[in-house]
Amino acid sequence: MTNLAPNAGVATPPTTAETKQIVLKDIRAKWDKFSEQDLTALKDRDDLVTQIVAKYALDKAQAQRDVDAVLKGRQI
C-alpha cells in the first residue's frame, strides 16, 4: 500500500487567475501587437474586439469571429 495524498493523480481545475493568464497568453499568441499593459487592461470580450478592430484594421464581425475562436467560451 502506498501513502498517496487523497487527491494524488487527480488534476485540479485551474483557478480564475490561472485561467486568465492562459487566456491572455492565447490572445498574445494570436495578436502580437498587444503589449503586456494592453493585455492586463482588457476588461471583457467586447473590449478585446474593439482593440483588435483598432490595432489590426479588421471589421468588427471578423474581429468577433476571431475572438470567439481564441476564447472558446472562456472569459477574460
Query: What's the pLDDT tens digit per position in 6-61?
Result: 555 667 888 888 999 999 999 999 999 999 999 999 999 999 999 999 999 999 99
What DSSP state is assigned to residue 57?
Answer: -
pTM: 0.79
Q: Look up residue 59 and give its three cell numbers.
A: 471589421
Helix (H) or strand (E) holding 67: helix 60-71
Higher pLDDT, 17 or 66: 66
Q: Look up residue 72 and give its three cell numbers.
A: 472558446
Domain that holds residue 67: 33-76
Cβ atoms of 65 and 53 within 8 Å: the answer is no
Is residue 42 domain-resident?
yes
Is residue 73 domain-resident?
yes
Q: Look up residue 23 and give its three cell numbers.
A: 487566456
What DSSP state is assigned to residue 24?
Answer: H
